Amino acid sequence: MRHVKPQFPEGIYGITAEKFSRGRSNIEVVRAMIAGGIRIIQYREKRPPKDFAAMLAECYAIRALTREAGVLLIINDYPSLALLVDADGVHVGQDDLPVPEVRRLLGPHKLIGLSTHAPEQARAAVAAGADYIGVGPIFSTQTKEDVTDPVGLGYIDYVVANCPLPFTVLGGIKEHNLAQVVARGAQSACLVTEIVEADDICAKVQRLQNILQKK
């Protein structure tokens, strides 16, 4: 068990999305993400279509891969899965369990991320004790159902100037527009379909990391 809270890393923030992965399993995708240099991966699946037994088996396998590589594993929405596999944290949305309740379940040494879409939500995340926030959706996205309208690049400006928490930007971010969010001060970015749909996930991640690191 980890007894020191890990630091939220800069760079590409990987997220699984098996239905967009062109027949590849989440485990295959995670292995390729790690090979590309990603340092934090979020396991995101919903029930249904997957049941908890299938999700738990995947999380155990992914936890083994990430632990061997020194990569952080975050579980989306399900603190129970995070506890069972000793993940490094949980990410929740505005309509999921509140951050203080997730903290009660996970204890002080796990990361808790919270999706935010507006300045007041960023301020509330700080007050609630979140360790990092998701900022977006910056652009239009079809990855998630019932998604919030795009918040635009201006929300990044607000967070950079006013929020003390680390953050990752997400929502409609692609290789062609990643430099726009980097120019606003983003040091971490989530690209979902851009990565999991890529012919060569490892090479795609490396190109994205170079953009994010302004190489």
176: Cβ–Cβ under 8 A, 6 or more apart, which residues? none
- pLDDT for residue 48: 87
8: Cβ–Cβ under 8 A, 6 or more apart, which residues? 40, 111, 131, 132, 166, 188
- pLDDT for residue 148: 83
Q: What are 36-81's pLDDT values in tens digits?
A: 999 999 999 988 889 999 999 999 999 999 999 999 999 999 999 9
Q: Which of 20-35 are b and which e, b meaning 16 or more Cβ less than 10 Å from the residue's Cβ?
A: bbeeeebbebbbbbbe
Residue 82 CB-half CA count within 13 A: 29
% of the chain with per-residue pLDDT over 90: 91
Instruction: Using the structure block, give the residue that is written with the tokens 């997730």.
Output: 102
| Residue 147 · residue 171 · CB < 8 Å | yes
Mean pLDDT by 10 residues, the chain (215 residues): 86 97 98 98 93 96 98 98 98 97 98 98 98 97 75 97 98 97 97 98 98 86
The yes or no reply on domain 11-212 and CATH 3.90.1300.10 is: no
Chain centroid offset of residue 3 CA: 22
| Residue 186 · residue 155 · CB < 8 Å | no
Neighbours of 52 (CB within 10 A): 13
7: Cβ–Cβ under 8 A, 6 or more apart, which residues? none
Domain ranges in the chain? 11-212
